[in-house]
Every structure is written in C-alpha cells, then in structure tokens.
Amino acid sequence: MRYELYYWPGIQGRGEYVRLALEDCGAGYADVARSDRGMAAMMKMMEAGAGTPPFAPPFLKAGRLVIGQTANILLYLGSRHGLAPKPEACRLWVHQLQLTIADFVLEIHDTHHPLGPSLYYEDQRAPAKKRTGEFWNQRVPKYLGYFERLRQGTGGSYLTGRRVSYADLSLFQIVEGLRYAFPKRMKAFERSIPGVVELHDRVADRPNIRAYLASDRRIAFNEDGIFRHYPALDLE
C-alpha cells in the first residue's frame, strides 16, 4: 500500500515525525501537499462535513482509512512496520514515550509563541525570551533528563532495548531541532545527556534515515516551523 501523507508543505513541523517513520521502514508514500493541487486536496479533507475529518495536519491516508494526530499515526504505523514491539504492554510503553515527546514539542513551540499560535513572534518577543529562559532552566532538563535516564537504564542501543522504535526516531528529531533552534544552549547542555546524543547519532546513521536526510524530501529547518532559530532566544 502506498500511503498519502498530508502536511503543510513548507515546514518539517509535526509531519516530520511521521516522515521519519515512513522513511526508516521504507514505506512508499506521497507527500501530498507538496505536489500540485495538494494543498487544495488537504484543505478539502479537513473541511468535510461528515465522517471523520481531521482537526489539523498531519494526517495519513492508508487505503480508505484517514488517521490524524501524529502520535496516533505512529501508533498505527509502528505495529505494521516493525517500529514498535508487538506485545500490548510494550506497544503502550512506546506510545506513552511518544505522547511525552508530543508534550515536549508543544512546549518547544511555545518558546517562540507564548501568547498563542495566532499571533506573530514579532509581537511577543519579550514574553518569548522569558518563556525560553524557563524552558531551558526547568523543562529541557526535566524532559531530556528523563530520556537520558531511560537510555541509561536499558541495556540496548535504543530507548526500549535493542530494536529501534518510532519514539527513537522522534527523539532524534528533537535533538536535531534543538541544535538548530538553540545552537549555543544545546551545545552546553549536551554534555549532560550523552546517552541521548549517542542515540541521536545511531538513528542518523541508519541507512534509510541517512539517505532521507541527504535527499530533497527532507525540508530544511526554517522560521515557520516548530524549531526556529531566533538568536535573541539563544545564549548571548
């Protein structure tokens, strides 16, 4: 089956967690909104009056099924493409990790949009600076410290042991994104999370991921996405 991914065409955003999973397992997919008339098709699916219209991108069309919410899409893909263990307890655990990453992603977004997603960054520079300070003092150590503990606790190479899961791919993206958005802060912080950094490197070195990152299917980070490089928010 050839999947159809629907996501905003100009950014990595939340769609990227789905792209990384599709790419790693070698599934065929079309990145619909990046093609001609793709945006119109995406908007039409969200505006559907009946059925099960998604609230927002990303969503994935798998045959007749349309699945929305990033973590939900990964739950679906994980069990079909070997990106999550089979037993229920393990599947729930990987999903739990993904939902924790999703919470972190929202907090990352809020560093540049503390007053809400409907205003421009330029209209909230001072609150953004304040929130970013709190984020790096309190939240990054809490979230990444948690994943570091898990990484140290497992005997294997990945969060859940020897085999990769979609949560590992997402954690890779978190490290990539924080390096892009806050290069100075992240450089200083990485010393305290060697296990997470090693996991990042291991994911980056997976053949399908390496090929993807070198391709034009990987959209470059930019200041419309979730991870934005605003020098005023990094260390002086």
Q: How far is CA 220 from the centre of its chain?
A: 14
Q: Is 127 in the site for a second copy (CB under 8 A)?
A: yes
21 secondary structure, DSSP code: H
CB nearer a second copy, residue 107 or residue 234? 107
* CA dist list (Å): 129 to 84, 154, 177, 222: 38, 36, 18, 19
Query: What's the distance, Cα to Cα, between the start and end of the chain in Å?
Result: 49
Give the residue, chosen from 5, 12, 13, 95, that forms a contact with a second copy under the rule CB under 8 A. Answer: 95
Q: Looking at 113-165, list the stretches that DSSP marks H as alpha helix, in order from N- to C-terminal side.
A: 125-134, 140-153
**Which residue in 114, 168, 169, 225 binds a second copy (CB under 8 A)?**
114
Work out which of 35, 138, 192, 222 binds a second copy, going by CB under 8 A.
Answer: 138
Burial degree of 147 (CB within 10 A; 0-12, 13-18, 19+): buried
> Cβ atoms within 10 A of the Cβ of 103, count?
12
**Using CB under 8 A, which of 28, 36, 49, 205 touches a second copy?**
49
Is 131 a residue that touches a second copy (CB under 8 A)?
yes
Please state the closest distance from residue 128 (CB atom) to a second copy, in A.
9
Q: Give the per-residue contact string, 57-76, with a second copy (x = CB under 8 A; - = no).
A: --------x-xxx-xx--xx
- Judged by CB under 8 A, the residue of 50, 122, 216, 236 near a second copy is 50
The reply on whether position 119 binds a second copy by CB under 8 A is yes
Closest among 70, 98, 99 to 166, alpha carbons compared? 98
DSSP code at position 56: S
- Would you count residue 87 as binding a second copy (CB under 8 A)? no
- Positions in the binding site for a second copy (CB under 8 A): 49-56, 65, 67-69, 71-72, 75-76, 89, 92-93, 95-96, 99-100, 102-103, 106-107, 110, 114-119, 127, 130-131, 134-135, 137-139, 143, 146, 149-150, 153
